[in-house]
Chains A and B, each alone.
Chain A
Amino acid sequence: MQYIHSISSVSIQNSFNQEGFSNSLVQLADSNGLILPQYKEWIAPMALRRMSPILKSSVSAANACIKNSPDFEIEGIVVGTSLGCLSDTETFLNNINQSGSQAISPSAFIQSTHNAVAGQISLLLGNHSYNMTHSHDGLSFELALMDAMLLSESVDGLVLVGGADEYIPFLEEIKGNWGVKKGQWQSGATFLTLGKRPSSSGVLVAEAIATQAEGSIDLQLREILHKLGWHPESIGLILSNCDLSQTFPNARTANYLEYTGYYPTAPALAFHIAYDQLVSSPDGSHRALVVNQICTDSLGIICLEKS
C-alpha cells in the first residue's frame, strides 16, 4: 500500500487543484468540455508554445501535484496512456502527406512518441530517476499505478504517476469500432504522487490490479477484497464502468463514464473522484473501489482507503 500525497486532474470536472470538486460533479451530457487551468501559471512560455493539448494538461497536472507535495524528491515518473499523443501523430501524418519531396518539420514526430509526456516532465524538472510509459489499451493507468506502487516501496521519496489520453475528432469517425457513442469521447489527464510515508490526506492505495477478467467479476473482486481483509460491507463507494451485482450493501455506486467521458485512461479520473469523496464527502465512507471492465476480457481494480 502507498499513500497519496497530492493529486490533480484536467478534465470536464472542476478537478484542477479543487478539493471537494466531487461533491458537485457535472454529467457528461451537461458539460461544456474540459475545464482548463491557466497553463501560463504552470508551464514556461517557451515550453508551452509548442505543446500539444495532452502535454499541456499533463505537465500542468504534474506540476500542481509536485507543488502540493514539496517536501519530497520525485524518485520516479510513470505514465499510462493508451493512445498516446494523437494530435501530434495526426499532424505528422498530415505533414507526410503534404510534403511531397520537401523536408518535413520534425517537431510533431518528436512529440508523437508515447513517452513524450513522461519524458517532457522529466526534462522540465531536470529529474534523472526511473521514467516509464505504459500503453496497454484499457488498463494503461492501472498498470502504471502497479508499477509506481512497486517502485515506491523501494524509494524514500515520491513517485509521480499519471493517466492521460487525448481526444481528436477522427476518433468520432472510427468510434463505432470501439463501441463508443457520439459525444462520449473525451480527453483527460490525472497526476498524483505516491509515497510510503503517511500523507496529510491519509488516503492510501491498498491495491491496484490489472488482469484478465475470468468469468464473474464479482468473484474476482471478492477474492481481492478477501486478501486485503476487507469486508464487502466496509466499501462505501464504487465507481465502475460495468454492472456489479448486489454484493456491496453499503456502497454508493456510479458509472464513472458519466462524469469522465470516455477515454482509455478515464479510470485515473475515477480514481481522483473516489479520492476526493474519501476526503471531502459528508457521508464518511472510508473505502472506495474503482472497477474497470471497459473490455470484456480485461479487469482493472483499484482499492482506496482513508486511514
Chain B
Amino acid sequence: MNIFITGIGAISSIGKTVDECFASLKNGKSGIAHSSKGAFNGYIVGEVQIETAELQAQYKAEELISRTTLLGLAAASEAVDGHDLAMPLRTGFVSGTSVGGMDISNGEYLNHINGRPFNKKVFMHHACGTTTLQMAHHLGIKHYTNTISTACSSAANAILLGARMIKAGILDRAVVGGVDSLSIFTLSGFKSLMILDNQLCRPFDQTRNGINIGEGAGYLVLESEKAIQTTKKNAKALLTGWDNSSDAYHQTASSPEGKGAVLAMSKALLMAGVSPGEISYINAHGTATPNNDLTESTAIKTVFGEKVPPFSSTKSFTGHTLGASGGLEAVFSVLSLTHGSIFPNLHFEQPIEETGLIPAGQFKEGQKIKHVLSNSFGFGGNNTSLVFSNL
C-alpha cells in the first residue's frame, strides 16, 4: 500500500518556512554563525532567526513553555495547514526529540545547584513527552501521540513509526517528524566529545573537524490511500521504504565498515523495491565528524558500488539539528522530488582520502528525481534510512 505525503513544514536557521528554507538551499545561503545569545557565546550554531517571545505570541502559548515546543509547533502547524484534523480519521502525532525541553530546564537546574532561586514549574517542561503533548494539544490531535528519543535519528524514527502504523492499518493519517532547540547541555556535550567544530563544518571533506549544532523542526503529514480518498489532499510524494538497524559497535562511534548504515540503507531500498541505481539523490547524515563521514561514505560505497548517486549533507546549511535532523531532511528530500533538485554540500574542498567520494557542488533544479534516500544515524548505533519517491 502507498503512504502519501500530503503536507510538509520546516523551520531552521535557513528559513522559518519550507519556502524560505528552499530559497536558502537554492542560493547557497547557510544559517550557521556566531550565536546572538549570550548563553551560547563562543559557539557557532545554526540558530532559528526568531525570538522565543515572538513564537509565544504567535501561538498564544502559555508563559512558561520551552522553545523546543514552539519550534515544533511552527513546523507542524505549517505541515497541517489546510488539513482538517477533526475529520473522522484515526490521526496520530509522532514527534522525535533528543532532549525535549532541556533548553529551559538546564538553566533552571544550574540555578538550583548554585543556590540561586529557581522555578520548579520549569521542570514540567523538561521531559521529551511533554513537549510533544503540548504540540499535540495546540494542533488538536488526541487519538495517538508518541515521542521517540533516539538521539540524532529521533525524527527519522518518528516518521518510520508513523508509516508502520499506517501500513498496519492502526492509523489512517499521521503527523510525523521532530524538533530540537539549542541548549547549553547539548553544546557542552558535543564539545566534551571533541566533535564540535568552531569553524563552519565541512561534511565529507578530508579536513572536516566536527559538527556545528543547529536547531529546528521538520514535519510531514502521512496519509493512507483510504485517508486520501476522504481528505482529497494533493500528495507531494510517497514514502516508499524505511528501515532501522543497529550498528552494535560503540556507544558513539560507528563501525569502520558502517554495518548499521549498510543494513539500514539496503533494507530501506529493498522494502521500497528500488535498486541502488534508481536512487537520484542521497541526503546524507553527513555530520562532518571524522568518524561519521568516513563510515557513511564507506557504507554508501558498499551499497551503491561504483555508481554512487549525487549526494550531499544539508547540515552544511542548517547545522546538525540533532533530534530534528531526520524530519527537516525528510522535508528537504520531498523538495528534491517536487522541484527536481539536488542540494549542494557547502564548504567542501577535498575528498576523504580513504573513499574519494565527491558530494554535489552546485544547486540543481528541474532534474529527473525519482527516488531519494535520506539517512539519519544516532548515538547508541541507531541507524535509520528512509526512501522517498515521486508519485
Contact = CB atoms under 8 A, between A and B. Distances in A.
Given A127-B246, A130-B244, A137-B130, A104 B192 contact: yes
Interface stretch (A5-13, A30-38, A107-115): A107-115
B103 interface: no
Choose among A93, A94, A138 the residue with the greatest number of B CB atoms under 10 Å from its CB. A93
A83 interface: yes
A174 B120 contact: yes
B251 A84 contact: no
A90 B185 CA distance: 10
A109 B188 contact: yes
B248 interface: yes
Contact of B146 (A116, A134, A174): A134
B379 A93 contact: no
Contacts of A173: 112, 120
A86 to B, nearest CB: 10
Contact of A174 (B100, B123, B249, B381): B123
Interface residues of B, number: 59
Nearest to B145: A136
A305 interface: no
Given A93-B106, A135-B149, A128 B380 contact: no
A115 B150 contact: yes
B129 A150 contact: no
Nearest to B186: A109
Interface string A212-230: 1010000000000000000
Contacts of B149: 84, 113-115, 133-135
Interface in B110-163: 110, 112-114, 120-121, 123-124, 127-130, 132-133, 142-151, 157, 161
Given A93-B113, A104-B191, A132 B157 contact: yes
Contacts of B144: 210-211
A209 to B, nearest CB: 9
Nearest to A140: B129
A123 interface: yes
Interface stretch (B28-36, B164-172, B299-307, B363-371): B164-172
A110 B148 contact: no
Contacts of B100: 135
B122 to A, nearest CB: 9
A128 B247 contact: yes
Contacts of B185: 89, 92-93, 96
Nearest to B250: A123
Contacts of A82: 127, 129
B260 A115 contact: no
A29 interface: no
A70 interface: no
Interface in A111-153: 111-116, 118-120, 122-123, 125-140, 143, 147, 150, 153
Contacts of A112: 189
A24 B331 CA distance: 54
B114 A109 contact: no
B109 interface: yes
Contacts of A84: 128, 149
Nearest to B157: A132
Given A110-B252, A136-B132, A210 B244 contact: no
B127 A123 contact: no
Contacts of B189: 92, 106, 109, 112
A131 to B, nearest CB: 5
B110 A96 contact: yes
B161 A109 contact: no
B378 interface: yes
Contacts of A128: 245-248, 259-260, 263
Contacts of A127: 246, 248
A214 to B, nearest CB: 8
B148 to A, nearest CB: 6
A80 to B, nearest CB: 10
A136 B147 CA distance: 5
A299 B17 CA distance: 35
B380 A96 contact: no
Choose among A110, A173, A178, A210 the residue with the greatest number of B CB atoms under 10 Å from its CB. A110
A200 interface: no
A135 B129 contact: yes
Given A82-B127, A114-B150, A119 B379 contact: yes
Given A128-B246, A135-B128, A135-B149, A119 B143 contact: no
19 contacts: A93-B109, A94-B113, A96-B110, A104-B191, A106-B194, A109-B192, A113-B151, A116-B379, A119-B381, A128-B247, A131-B381, A133-B149, A134-B149, A136-B132, A137-B133, A150-B170, A173-B120, A174-B120, A211-B143
Q: 4 closest Cβ contacts across the A-B interface?
A: A119-B380, A137-B129, A114-B149, A109-B189
Given A136-B146, A177-B123, A297-B133, 12 more contacts: A82-B129, A113-B380, A114-B151, A115-B150, A131-B244, A131-B246, A134-B146, A134-B148, A137-B129, A139-B146, A177-B120, A177-B124
